[in-house]
Structure 1
């Protein structure tokens, strides 16, 4: 893998990242969605006590039917992607960029038929983000023969479609007090954050490790939110199981194309990827699901940290250039399976999403670092693809993954392998 520099031409990078290949080894990409209601859980994030938790499940998948649409624009909304009364300037800018991105996707195309079923990659988006916040990676995975499923967490996402022509948007005022700390804490919120910051970027002794466990245990609101998101992931996996066996009752927006998925999902081969708040979500989910072969966390704090989570599954943690959070070091130490922990120089939090690509000129702003936007997208996606190939398909080796990590100048990493 050649090292990329900021001098690469934009057009060439766009082609490398998202162009549709005619290679026999790659598929065209279909995109669709459906929703389902979890009647075992009431919706506690709305004022209506009669509401139940309703989940959007959006899928990118291999197809051989070419019917590209120039109107594709996060099409589960079929409208402006943020259903707010007064969209911000950033929302308008995002909307304009999305209309120009050369994603050659085939809406509601039938799934490619194969002699063997397709492995599954499940995705959990960032808090106050969208189900498509890592779409370039989802497209690349689908081209390589994975079924990629993004789970919409309603009322914590910017916007998700719900069942029965309803939708849910993020309400800043309603969510203002969601992430409270425990009454048992001996610090307030600001002091807790400051203490965690003081433990970043250093080698922790046993006493400091215990303090990290304690501090994270006091993030009661975050832990409660993560439990909700993990339950969303389990419910979505249940719906994929029903899709596999052709059981469509209770699903909404199901067309004939979704019936082609019957018998074609390899539910024994599963991986999970999450961004920000979705990172610890998929770590916990993968730890709990036997068939999950590995998880990737894009720059998310482990608010649900405990001595037993995560520990038994291969795990890739990506971190910004900021001093390494103490919870990352604790997790790395307690992992029993293959573990990779890396930092990317010049990258900040939202550089792990597609936003660097969508806003290529908005560098050195909060949450977007100084690194070349196309380089950071290439680094994050290439390493993620290789990790998934190693642990889900066994289509690559651990040595190849390590060599890829070593090939990128901005990447600093450590790993431990269970040989």
Structure 2
């Protein structure tokens, strides 16, 4: 995923207005009427690219200059300079809050995506305040064969609800990210599964506290394009918000994870209930996928390799992945990104995991050596039976493992990323992610985990 500072028609509008204003009065007719051309471009932009509030100053300036052109007023040099300054300020807003663009994945497959509502009648919901079964969403990204009728999928379903919730979570006004509803991804909505003589391995993803299932879409697309069925689990009441197909909206329940200042024992007992529930979501997702694999009417009928299941997660979701793999041997391989260990049960921390495992830390988390989280991880890791290592990425912060830093060039100032280049982070993380699951689920050899080889200068091997 990367920033697209302004879209084509937005850029065209700015160029037309700038060209008009740079030309000294008196302007020839062809230059004097450029704002009218910009106005026409704006009308096309509304129809093709879509309105967004960040462009309002530019819309207004275009309308004013077009009106002046129509009545024959040719603004003088001083007015042109002042208007150019206004144009620069008007253009800055959409640049600082761009429409994100998800980069095309590198694999040979197109990618399809489907969203399912899942209800686990065997478990009760513990965070809704109601006596009801556990209910959550999953989003599946899978190898696909798109055709001319295939419809591009949005980055997030129900973006008009998700975007304000995400904005408020990162301390922005609720309307600031409304343009996320304009983002489509290089994947196709409910397109057909790719033809293959072999079933596809499965990778489960667990998001972090106040995250959402599509927060790591770039990674999901990359994995799916290389022949994996990737399933993002939306943990209701732990996610920033959950919107069900019938329109029900479940907000994050802040009481599910205690405040940081809570005494250690109380915090960890309470948070362990949360991660146990999330691990249960991962387990029931596999049961749901098993049913899909056995259902002749399912698009995934007999195409899911349930003997080769990888699990990874970020932050609290990384803790859920550790908890699940430590208690359920259907997990074949475990990867954690800044895994939050405080909610992991003491049994799993003390006993480790049997599966091949690998962990990536941001510099901000790795450098906090005295943290309770690092204390627990350092107790856990030596018990891992098939460890492939622990690395830290220089210049990264916690959210560098997600798509969120690329919402805006101001991400470092908002605490959403470290100083390292975002595209480089994506390259490194995707390389480790794909190489790890290729090795553990497909048996493809790689030297990326060889301690004697340093492929990336930004990667520091911790263990």
TM-score by length of structure 2 reads 0.69
Query: For residue 377 of structure 1, what is the aligned residue in structure 2?
Result: 426
Q: How many angstroms does 1:357 deviate by? A: 2.6
Q: How many angstroms does 1:391 deviate by? A: 0.7
**Distance in structure 1 (CA, Å) of the matches to 2:389 and 2:173:** 34
Residue 84 to residue 129, structure 1, CA distance change in 2 (3 Å): closer
Map 1:17-416 → 2, pairs under 5 A = 18-20=103-105, 26-49=108-131, 51-66=132-147, 67-70=149-152, 72-75=154-157, 77=158, 79-82=160-163, 89=172, 92-96=175-179, 99-100=182-183, 103-162=185-244, 164-171=246-253, 175=254, 177-180=255-258, 190=261, 219-246=268-295, 259-303=298-342, 304-306=344-346, 307-321=349-363, 322-324=367-369, 325-397=374-446, 399-402=447-450, 406-415=454-463
Contact 1:180 1:220 in 2 (8 A): no
Where 2:435 maps in the other structure, the secondary structure is: helix
Residue 239 to residue 144, structure 1, CA distance change in 2 (3 Å): same
Contact 2:164 2:174 in 1 (8 A): no
**Distance in structure 1 (CA, Å) of the matches to 2:138 and 2:453:** 32
**Distance in structure 2 (CA, Å) of the matches to 1:26 and 1:90:** 40
Where 1:401 maps in the other structure, the secondary structure is: coil
Greater Rg over alpha carbons, structure: 2
Query: For residue 92 of structure 2, what is the aligned residue in structure 1?
Result: none
Q: What count of residue pairs does the alignment treat as equivalent?
A: 355
Contact 1:364 1:370 in 2 (8 A): no
**Distance in structure 2 (CA, Å) of the matches to 1:90 and 1:263:** 47
Q: How many angstroms does 1:17 deviate by? A: 7.7
Query: For residue 253 of structure 1, what is the aligned residue in structure 2?
Result: none
Q: Which runs of 5+ in 1 are unaligned?
A: 1-9, 182-188, 193-214, 248-255
Contact 1:217 1:305 in 2 (8 A): no
**Distance in structure 1 (CA, Å) of the matches to 2:183 and 2:285:** 31
**Distance in structure 1 (CA, Å) of the matches to 2:452 and 2:235:** 33
TM-score by length of structure 1 reads 0.76
**Distance in structure 1 (CA, Å) of the matches to 2:388 and 2:245:** 39
Contact 1:357 1:377 in 2 (8 A): no
Contact 2:333 2:441 in 1 (8 A): yes
Encode CA deviations 1:221-260: one digit per residue, 9 max, x unaligned.
111111111111111111001001018xxxxxxxx7xx22
Residue 371 to residue 361, structure 1, CA distance change in 2 (3 Å): same
Q: How many angstroms does 1:125 deviate by? A: 0.6
Residue 372 to residue 95, structure 1, CA distance change in 2 (3 Å): farther
Contact 1:82 1:159 in 2 (8 A): no
Residue 353 to residue 86, structure 1, CA distance change in 2 (3 Å): closer
The higher relative CO (CA closer than 8 Å, separation ≥ 6) is in 1
Q: How many angstroms does 1:141 deviate by? A: 0.4
